[in-house]
Amino acid sequence: MSTFRTSRELPFPTAAVFGAIRDPQRLARWWGPAGFTNSFQTFEFVPGGRWVFTMHGPDGTNYPNESEFVEIVPEALVRIRHVSPPEFVLSIGLQARGDDRTLVNWEQAFTDAQVAERVRHIVEPSNEQNLDRLTAELSAA
């Protein structure tokens, strides 16, 4: 298994960060790399719930996605299993840093190490862009 990790301390409380993940309208605005938009078909934010959506690339390419929410601990952890290729598990951990800051730990574990190496050049910058977009979404609220 190959895992990509990034973390960032955000100037927002954990309740606000978790809210931007659990609210499908807000999540659709920030999910994915820079320039992407999203259309959600199914969003069942409960353990075992399905999340079916299409990411729309800046060049007009559509990327269908299907995931399952594996574990949800309010204001602490969201674990998602991406069931459409490439398969991976994404864990988004939230740790309070005082009353108004949150450390976001973003960990993406691919089941196939060869696939992970093939997409590394996309995944690493895209994960940083996800956190940039999350920060922008929280700043706009």
- Residues 21-30: tens digit of each pLDDT: 999 999 999 9
Range of the domain at 63: 2-140
Residue 141: the pLDDT is: 80
**In 3-state terms, what secondary structure has residue 92?**
strand
The domain that contains 58 carries what CATH number?
3.30.530.20
Residue 129 banded pLDDT, cuts 50, 70, 90 = very high
Cα distances (angstroms) measured from residue 116 to each of 9, 15, 47, 80: 26, 32, 26, 17
Mean pLDDT of 72-92: 98
Closest Cα partner for 76 from 91, 57, 64? 91
- The pLDDT score that the predictor gives to residue 5 is 97
Query: What is the distance between the alpha carbons of residues 96 and 110, in angstroms, rounded to a whole number?
Result: 27
On whether the pTM is more than 0.85, the answer is yes
Closest by CA position to 59, among listed 83, 76, 35, 43:
35
> What pLDDT, on the 0 to 100 scale, is given for residue 49?
99
Sequence-ordered alpha helix ranges (H) in 5-112: 14-22, 24-30
Q: What gap in Å lies between CA 67 and CA 51, rounded to an integer?
A: 5
Q: Are strands 77-82 and 88-96 parallel, antiparallel or unpaired?
A: antiparallel
* pLDDT, mean of residues 23-38: 97
Q: What is the count of structural domains for the chain?
A: 1
Instruction: Tell me the CA distances in angstroms from 121 to 2, 3, 18, 79, 126, one per residue in order.
Output: 14, 13, 28, 23, 9
